[in-house]
Structure 1
Amino acid sequence: MEAARAKAIFDAKENYAVKLDGEKPVWIEHVDLDNKMATVQIGNNPLDTHTVNVERLVEG
């Protein structure tokens, strides 16, 4: 995923399905456009967060 798309999903009022590496559902919590990184919550566990390259995120 492009960093700008990750930011658009984060800013949107609608919910979009996003997966990490095409497998694990995630919620985007922050996007760093300059470094193309995103902080995501894995599944429904608010304590399970990771900072990953946005290229690892897949929409849909």
Structure 2
Amino acid sequence: MDVTRVKQILSSSADINVTYNGISVWIDQLNEDGKTATVHLRGPLEERSEVEISELKEV
């Protein structure tokens, strides 16, 4: 995924399915470096991780 699409997803009110390593995640924010984003797993766990945006996939 590229930085433009991450920004579009963050500003959208739609429920857009994004995965990281095959696991469904929510994108919380694009980090200042423009190469990573903070995400958390969909579901009850709120654990957040910083991941490379290039590894995010839109399903």
The reply to whether TM is greater than 0.5 is: yes
Letter in 1 for 2:56: L
| 2:56 corresponding residue in structure 1 | 57
| 2:34 corresponding residue in structure 1 | 35
Letter in 2 for 1:40: V
What's the offset of the Cα at 1:32? Answer: 2.4
CA RMSD after TM alignment: 1.3
Q: Residues of 1 paired with 2:27 and 2:14: CA distance?
A: 13
| 1:16 corresponding residue in structure 2 | 16
Gaps of 5+ in 2: none
Letter in 2 for 1:8: Q
Identity of aligned residues (%): 28
Kindly report structure 1 stretches of 4+ aligned residues shifted beyond 3 Å.
Answer: none
Letter in 2 for 1:15: D
Q: How many residues align?
A: 58
Give the TM-score taking structure 2 as reference length. 0.86
